Amino acid sequence: MLIAGVDEVGRGCLAGPVVACAVVLPEGFSDPRIKDSKKLSRKAREKLYPYIIENSVTWGLGVVCSRLIDKINILNATRQAMQIALSRLSPCYGKIIVDAVGLKNLPVPEEHPNKADADFIEVSAASVVAKVYRDRLMEYLSTVWEGYGWEKNAGYGTAAHLEAIRRQGWTPVHRRSFYVKGL
C-alpha cells in the first residue's frame, strides 16, 4: 500500500508562510540519506530535494500566507496547508501519515504520530521538500525586504531578526498575531 507522508515547516516563524508538503514514494522505497529536515545540513537538503521529487510517485505543496495565519491561527493554517498539499496528489495512496497534526475529512485512513518524520521515510521526504521550498522563498523575500536576515534565519525570531523589527518595523509578511515581548 502506498503512503502519503505529510509534514510542515515554518510553524514557529515570525515572518513568511507556513509550508506543507505531501509525498508518496514507491512501495518499498528506501534511502538512509532521507531524514527529518532538521537533522540534515542545508547542503544535504538541497541535494535531496530534486532526488525526492524525481523518485516520488506524486507530491504536492501547500502554502498559507502570514495574513491568513493571523486570521485563522497557526494550527488551522497548518492544517489548511496540509490539506492543500494533499489535494495536489494523484489519488494513488491508501493511507496518510501526518507528523503530529490530525486532519479531518480525508478519503483514506490517517495517522498522526509524534515524530513521524523520524519513523516514516515519506514524512521525512515531505519535511525535506517543504524546508527547501520555504528556505528558498524566504531567501527571495530577503531581497524584497532587506535587513531582516531571512536568508539566514528563515523568518524565525533570532536576536538579529528581532533587532531588525525594532529598527525597521514590521513588513507585510510578518505575522502580527505572534506576540513578541518588547516589540
Q: In what order do the strands lie in the sheet with 3-9?
A: 58-64, 18-24, 3-9, 95-98, 110-111
Give residue 60's pLDDT band: very low, low, confident or very high (50, 70, 90).
very high
- pLDDT value of residue 178: 87
Please report, for the chain, the start and end positions of each structural domain, with discontinuous segments joined by +: 3-132
For residue 183, pLDDT over 90 is answered with: no
Give residue 182's pLDDT band: very low, low, confident or very high (50, 70, 90).
low
Provide the 8-state DSSP code for 15: B
For residue 15, pLDDT over 70 is answered with: yes
- Could you confirm whether domain 3-132 is CATH 3.30.420.10? yes
Q: How many CA atoms lie within 13 A of 53 on its CB side?
A: 13
pLDDT digits (tens, 9 = 90+) for 19-41: 999 999 999 999 999 999 999 99
